Chains A and B, each alone.
Chain A
Amino acid sequence: MYLFISPWLIGFFVFALYPILSSLYYSFTDYDIIHPPKYVGLANYKEMFQNDLFWKSVVVTVRYTFISVPIQLLLALGFALLLNAKIPFRGFFRTAMYFPSMVSGVAMSLLWYWIFNPSIGLFNYVLSWFGISGPAWLMSPDYALYALMIMSFWTVGSGMILFLAGLQGVPSSLVEAAKLDGAGRFRIFLNVTLPMISPVLLFQLIMGVIDSFQVFTQAYVMTQGGPNYSTWFYVYNLYTSAFKEYRAGYSSALAWVLLIVVMAFTALIIKLSNRYVHYEGGGRK
């Protein structure tokens, strides 16, 4: 066995364990990458909690996560349900929904940057069909974050595919049985379909939260964290302090807080899942 896993083992020590431990060490130092690190105790952590930009980045990231992830999941599940039914042109709809997910992060950011252009962009033009005059989106501190959320809904197709795979696994015998028992459509969804696909839902919830804690591309390409820090995402903040201000020590402290939060979230969701998620064959996990 060890022969087979040896590449991974080496990788684990060199690219995971060593970086994580040294980043813990750096987080207690003042380190500009060029001169040797200087031990400063908890100073970085203390500074972090007094730093306005840190708190700004926390608020932006949490707001983005708590609003966009649930909506993304609902949309993905909704489309999956619609497209799991027998509907004309189902194959076409599935492909069309998935298509936007094939656009890379940078290409998507460029495209939507252009679409959100307040005076000549497509978005406000489409809104004007409905008599709405849109805001300046990415140039407005009040709307920039919402613009990024709207953009994130464009790629729900990839989540939809996973839900579709999950729905295929719901045994039709269960649905039929529930129907015979006189259960309505909504009851069947709530008591049969939803429990059966809850592992997929959980998986996507964890991944969605973890991914949105790490938003970087959009902030880097579209807004550079602005305007007025309204899209100052956590990882963008981390990147800036490490590679623009050369404060690797402080940045490592940021990295460790991120790590702890991500681990805590994962643990919490797994714990909740023991109570609410149904695994086929019962009991296990």
Chain B
Amino acid sequence: MSMIPTAGPGASPSVNKRRRKIDAVSIASFIALVVTTFLMLLPLFFMVSTSLKSKKELLTFPPTFLPESWQWSNYREIFDTLNFGQMYMNSLIIGILTVVGTLFSSALAGYGFARYRGKGSNLWFMLMLSTMMLPYPAIMIPQFILFSKLNWIDTFLPLIVPAFFGSAYNIFLLRQFFTTLPDELFDAGRIDGCSEFRMWRQIALPLSGPALATVAIFAFIYSWNDLLTPVLYLSSSDKFTLPVGMSSFTSSRFRIPPWHLLMVASVLAMLPIVTLFAIAQKRFVEGIVLTGIK
């Protein structure tokens, strides 16, 4: 692991005076870290503690940091009042299908771009890269019209089907990874009479765990958190995803939004992401380094 010059004691073996200076800098940066970390975690702490407060306690000032009485029942109540379970399931279904679609088609296309040089392959690759900077708002109106002609409005299809056609960013990540696989592997496969598709499935994919995990996590988080697309396409409340359902509570439905319940929803909405991150933390960072975002 490389070390940057702010490294603490031992970074500079030279003179004593210099050593003391470095220590002072280390201590100052440590204090800065402690303070900022405290400030960063404070809102999160507040989110969790608010989720356990009673409705009455919400309105006290100064805000209490720990609930006076811990209302664990809030976590049960949300499933009764806000149609929360349904929204959660909708988001999960859409998220999982999006991941499946993205993995399949992006790995396929990434492999195609990595291992074959055909006529025009460069042109297609450049086109693919250029779609990365295509802002979604720039294409959402014609897409909306297209999907409404297909009668897909108020279904999950507009949120899932496009994923099955790959996305530039993930194709690029996977292509970068596939190009690092040694040619010898595939030559050996070819000699053994492996079909091209089987080589993809049985040689390339099994070696790509970290890269595929990274793509899967990105795709899931993106789908789980997306607001704009589901806002456009979903209109009946039993089809709402979590972000759409939650955002609907700041609008006029309640005179005073039920903040304690909204914080419960926020905590629960975070859960899958935190779980994913905890499971995949090592692979995730590895994947970022491997696929080399640079």
Contact = CB atoms under 8 A, between A and B. Distances in A.
Chain B residues touching A, range: 35 or more
A249 to B, nearest CB: 9
Contacts of B66: none
Interface stretch (B29-37, B73-81, B183-191, B205-213): B29-37
Contacts of B266: 103-104, 107, 110-111
25 contacts: A1-B121, A9-B124, A11-B162, A15-B162, A15-B165, A19-B139, A86-B8, A99-B41, A103-B44, A103-B47, A104-B225, A104-B243, A107-B246, A111-B266, A113-B250, A115-B46, A119-B61, A171-B2, A175-B3, A200-B293, A239-B228, A255-B138, A255-B139, A258-B135, A279-B294
Interface string A149-182: 0000010010001101111111110010001000
A258 B136 CA distance: 10
Contacts of A66: none
Interface of A: 1-5, 7-12, 14-16, 18-20, 22-23, 26, 33, 79, 81-88, 93, 96-100, 102-107, 109-115, 119-122, 125-126, 128, 154, 157, 161-162, 164-172, 175, 179, 184-185, 188-189, 193, 199-200, 203, 210, 213-214, 216-217, 220-222, 235, 238-239, 242-243, 248, 251-252, 255-256, 258-259, 262-263, 266, 279
A266 B133 contact: yes
Interface string B269-294: 11001100100000001001100011
Contact of B127 (A12, A19, A222): A12
Given A5-B108, A200-B293, A216 B135 contact: no
Contacts of B112: 1-5
A168 B1 contact: yes
A5 to B, nearest CB: 4
A20 B293 contact: no
B255 to A, nearest CB: 15
Main secondary structure of the interface of B (DSSP, over half): helix
B2 A167 contact: yes
Contact of A217 (B42, B111, B228, B263): B228
B182 interface: no
B7 A122 contact: no
A194 to B, nearest CB: 11
Contacts of B30: 87-88
Nearest to A211: B135
Given A9-B124, A87-B8, A255 B269 contact: no
B241 to A, nearest CB: 10
A262 to B, nearest CB: 5
